[in-house]
Amino acid sequence: MTFVGRLDRYVLTRNFVGIAAALAVLSAVILLIQFVDLSRSVGVRADVTVAQLFGLTLLKAPALILLLLPFVFLFGGISAYVGLNRRSELVAMRAAGVSAWRFILPSAVAAFLVGLTSITLLNPVASALSARFESERARLMENYLTDTPKDVWLRQGDDRNQIVIHAKVRDTVDGTVRLRGVSLFVYQKNKDGAPQFKRRLEAAEARLLPGFWKLTDVQEATAGESSVRSDSLSIRSSLDSESAAERFSSAEAIAFWRLPAAIRITEQAGFSANRYKLRFQQLMATPLLFSAMSILAAAFSLRLVRLGGLGGLVGAGVAIGFIFFFFNEFSGALAGADIIPLFAAAWAPPLVALLSGLTLLCYTEDG
């Protein structure tokens, strides 16, 4: 048993070395491509320095690396198992009566644990950096995006009231969302659940403070009555600065732990939260996807060198990895168009990858 335990740790170490090498190569490629892309999209339109472009690259790169981590486990695992195969270490393991299942399982479990870590710890960091990237890029390109409307639309509410907010300009000051040129349309639901217009407020500025909007220079008009002017007015809000800022960000810029709250607030406001629900389900399926890629890497690399065809099998494994990646993206697109259920779109690709790897392993190992 001691021999087997040491063998497991040895194979696991080789896997982590291969994964680390694949991660280093992939990160370098992503940084290079992202820097070049930002140089062409931002550098030629805004007065930015190389340091600012590199800073934007560092803000965006973590989210892209997390997106492509399944390839890291696939390529790293293939590299590790092919190395063991070429050094005839796999032959020695099998001659000693060690089944492939014995040393593949620890690697798959380790990949699952890394997946849990990525969604619970790394994803919030990457999401925060991605949100910072979007705000910094918008700030640098503010005077150059002349073809993009600056109007802002927000919606908040509960089971009784709904408020539609329109503003001409949005910015953030010391973490506080500030809107200028604001119009608020207040609706109240009747007994049948249909919204009825109650009043309209025009304000020069609105600041989102904890629990309420603070309006300044307000003109209030109620249905059937004359307008009333006031210097300031407070309107209760179900949004906070972070959730309000998330309305202007992509689903990928929202941290895993904040997605349930984003789903709830979006649905309370009467909007569809499908993009947040899909993102949440995809993140939940990430550990299974990492394990599936680790098993696929082993399944396409265990063929003995003396039998020939190892190179073709490895190439097929790489191609299968790309197919599953695009299958995952395609499923997400179908779910976004309400063609297939969100649960199926998020969980089908990793389940298919896992079952494919297990099937090939059964054929290779057990005949």
347 occurs within a structural domain: yes
Q: Residue 8, exposed/middle/buried by CB under 10 A (0-12, 13-18, 19+)?
A: middle
Is the domain of 84 the same as that of 163?
A: no
Instruction: Look at residue 290 in the predicted model and tell me its pLDDT.
Output: 93
- Report whether pLDDT(139) > 90: no
Which of 178, 266, 241 is closest to 214 using CA atoms?
A: 178
Instruction: Look at residue 205 in the predicted model and tell me its pLDDT.
Output: 87
- Mean pLDDT, rounded, for 344-365: 85
Q: Dump pLDDT digits (tens) for 91-105.
A: 777 777 777 777 788
The CATH code of the domain that includes 186 is 2.60.450.10
149 occurs within a structural domain: no
pTM, two decimals, is 0.74
268 occurs within a structural domain: no
DSSP-assigned beta bridge partners for residue 202: 183, 219
Higher pLDDT, 302 or 281: 281
260 occurs within a structural domain: no
Q: How far is CA 344 from CA 280, 284, 288, 326, 331, in A?
A: 13, 13, 14, 15, 8
Instruction: Look at residue 244 in the predicted model and tell me its pLDDT.
Output: 58
Q: Dump pLDDT digits (tens) for 141-192.
A: 765 544 444 567 777 776 677 788 878 777 665 667 778 888 888 888 777 7
Name the percent of the chain lying above pLDDT 90. 15
Strands 212-222 and 176-189: unpaired
> For 122-126, 243-247, 294-298, 319-323, which range has the lowest pLDDT when averaged over its residues?
243-247
Identify the domain boundary among 237, 252, 267. 237
244 occurs within a structural domain: no
- Total count of domains within the chain: 2
Phi, psi of 242 (to 5 degrees): -70, -45
Q: Residue 94, exposed/middle/buried by CB under 10 A (0-12, 13-18, 19+)?
A: middle
Is the domain of 35 the same as that of 87?
A: yes
Instruction: Look at residue 143 in the predicted model and tell me its pLDDT.
Output: 56
Higher pLDDT, 302 or 215: 215
Q: Dump pLDDT digits (tens) for 282-328.
A: 999 999 999 999 988 888 777 655 555 556 666 777 787 788 888 88
- The Cα–Cα gap between 349 and 351 comes to 5
Q: Which domain holds residue 187?
A: 159-237
Rg (CA), the chain: 26
Instruction: Look at residue 269 in the predicted model and tell me its pLDDT.
Output: 61
Is the domain of 120 the same as that of 165?
A: no
Is the domain of 136 the same as that of 176?
A: no
Identify the domain boundary among 237, 268, 292. 237
Is the domain of 13 the same as that of 60?
A: yes
Instruction: Look at residue 111 in the predicted model and tell me its pLDDT.
Output: 92
258 occurs within a structural domain: no
